[in-house]
Chain A
Amino acid sequence: MIRITLAFFGLIPMPLLGCSSPSGIVYGDQVLAGIDMHLHTGEWDKIPPSTQNYLAERFPFPLNLNPEPLAEDTLSAQGVVDQLDNAGLEKGVVFAVYAPHSVGIATNAEVMELLDAKPDRLWGLASLRVDQWNTEAENQLNNLREALNHPRMIGIKLAHAHMHIRFDDPQYDSIYALAGELEKPVYLHTGPSPFNGTLADPPYTNPIYLEESIKRFPQTTFILGHMGFDFLNKAEGNLEECLALGKRYPNVFFEPSALGSGASDPDGTLYTKVLRRTKEEGLIDRMIYGSDGPQFPGFLADYATRTRDAMKAAEYTADEAQAVFKTNFERVFGLNP
């Protein structure tokens, strides 16, 4: 029954919104290929209750009364691929997460299970624990290095606000150094998060505090997730700081996930502004598409549609849209076919 329900809700946006097809994203008279670089997996039981509640509230009634089966199904390898298909996206990148204070834990091993189950469709970003860094740093870095040996683990995921570490704390430089050594880009959550248990003060959310590390590690690629969006106040947050860092450093990239969702930006105004400012600054070649899904069935398709619409409103050409949806990702992660 869950499968039927997923298909039912997942397919709704396609004919209604006319954005995605099984083979791509319709943009004017062209069909674009797309890759979603921000997807999640995990086990319901490992998510803290407040976050379970936050997620369950997004499910339709009465699935929100018993969200675990639907969530587990949506977060499985097949569930993620079903959502990619529904959105007309070719491939996706699944994140490992170590955020016991907020959204919970999705281990590197769990992500690798997904990658092995769908090796033609999924890549992964590995992560590490930092909550006992004084004594565990070496072990954690070794574990991270080992996870990155997996052929489809292509980068590192960090979320300073969730992990309670400052952007300007040099004791975590060893992570950036490892990323540079292995040529694996680092994705970092930026901007205040809506989840309980996260820290919203600027040193944890404003990427300008990361500038010294960006300077110290020019060989490391930094991807600023959510482009500094303020999810607490549903405002652009640190967008200008992100763009300024992009202008100053060639190893800085952006990812605009979640900020353009129906919950964060109902009429698309903020998303359009983010995309327009990126274009005005000549930084489209630094932007990589991601959604922050699957969240709930149909979210990936909805976000791709919203992105397409915001790109049109920001007057992106088809080539520019294609760069954001796919080719920038392939270039940054060294996955050119």
Chain B
Amino acid sequence: MITCALLAATLSAPQAISPAPVSVHVAAGFPWTGIAVEKSFASNFSATLEAETALGRRWESRLQLNKDWPIRTSWRLRSGLGTGWVYQSPSVPRQGVQVVARVEASYQSTYSPFVTLDYRYLIGLRELAIQSATGDRTEWVTNPYVSILGQVGVRRAISSSLELDLRMIFGEIDEVFAIPGALLGLRWSQR
């Protein structure tokens, strides 16, 4: 699929990068479903507010700042840094603050292939109930969890303001192997 997209990309005329002032992206698949709202600013900066869930049992939300780095006409590199909250229940409980670093490379064309790499560092918070001779008390302890996720996919504009994307997700969540996932997404951009 990616090879086909790359081939189509080489046969298509390059398109200029023109970020929309505001865009909304919704995606659904296995295991993730999510929504992201993006607001562009000057100098290739943008901010993204994201919320996603895996099977309704792990919830992640974050605010991310992005910087686009146009490379020649058609290539774009995007870097992002964000932070948010994770909540997961009930079988493997997790909650805490997560920091995310993201890098994405994409080729702008009729079929736009892209690759994204996420490094997510979760500072897990856990409440401990301690029974001792001096009485009962609770303590909060932290545990770090690292998630590394790679995404490969392709985007295709279907109108001046709508774009479809299909992506596969690989990697680890909280240092546990993640079964590869797939997502179908739709982006609406203000024009």
Most chain A CB within a 10 A radius of its CB, from B57, B91, B93: B91
- The reply on A324 being an interface residue by CB < 8 A is no
**Residues in B22-61 with C-beta less than 8 Å from chain A:** 31, 54-55, 57-58
Question: Contacts of A61 on B, CB cut-off 8 Å?
Answer: 31, 54, 172-174, 176-179
- The reply on B141 being an interface residue by CB < 8 A is no
Question: Contacts of B54 on A, CB cut-off 8 Å?
Answer: 61-62, 65
- The reply on A128 being an interface residue by CB < 8 A is no
We find that the number of chain A residues with CB closer than 8 angstroms to chain B is 15
The complex places the Cα of A183 from the Cα of B177 at a distance, in Å, of: 45
Which of A50-58, A97-105, A272-280 touches B? A50-58
Asked if B91 and A53 make an inter-chain contact with CB atoms under 8 angstroms apart, the answer reads yes
- The reply on A182 being an interface residue by CB < 8 A is no
The complex places the Cα of A64 from the Cα of B93 at a distance, in Å, of: 10
Question: Contacts of A60 on B, CB cut-off 8 Å?
Answer: 176-179
A62-80 vs B, Cβ < 8 Å mask (1 yes, 0 no): 1111111000000000000
Q: Pick the contact of B57 from A52, A53, A62 — CB < 8 Å? A: A62
Asked if A66 and B57 make an inter-chain contact with CB atoms under 8 angstroms apart, the answer reads yes
**Residues in B91-106 with C-beta less than 8 Å from chain A:** 91-93
Question: Contacts of B173 on A, CB cut-off 8 Å?
Answer: 61-62
The chain A residue sitting closest to B178, CB to CB, is: A61
Q: Pick the contact of B58 from A57, A59, A65 — CB < 8 Å? A: A65
Most chain A CB within a 10 A radius of its CB, from B54, B58, B88, B92: B92
The complex places the Cα of A293 from the Cα of B178 at a distance, in Å, of: 21
Question: Contacts of A57 on B, CB cut-off 8 Å?
Answer: 92, 176
CB distance from A66 to the nearest CB of B (A): 6
The chain A residue sitting closest to B181, CB to CB, is: A62
**Residues in B68-93 with C-beta less than 8 Å from chain A:** 88, 91-93
CB distance from B57 to the nearest CB of A (A): 4
Asked if A65 and B91 make an inter-chain contact with CB atoms under 8 angstroms apart, the answer reads yes
Question: Contacts of A59 on B, CB cut-off 8 Å?
Answer: 176
A-B contact pairs, 29 of them (CB 8 A): A5-B179, A52-B91, A53-B91, A53-B93, A56-B91, A57-B176, A60-B176, A60-B178, A60-B179, A61-B31, A61-B173, A61-B174, A61-B177, A61-B179, A62-B31, A62-B54, A62-B55, A62-B57, A62-B173, A62-B178, A63-B179, A64-B91, A64-B176, A65-B31, A65-B91, A66-B55, A66-B57, A66-B91, A67-B91
Closest 3 CB pairs of A and B: A65-B57, A62-B31, A61-B178
Residues of B within 8 A of A (CB): 31, 54-55, 57-58, 88, 91-93, 172-174, 176-179
Known: A56-B91, A62-B55, A64-B92. 13 other contacts (CB 8 A): A53-B92, A53-B93, A57-B92, A60-B176, A61-B177, A61-B179, A62-B54, A62-B57, A65-B54, A65-B57, A65-B88, A65-B91, A66-B57
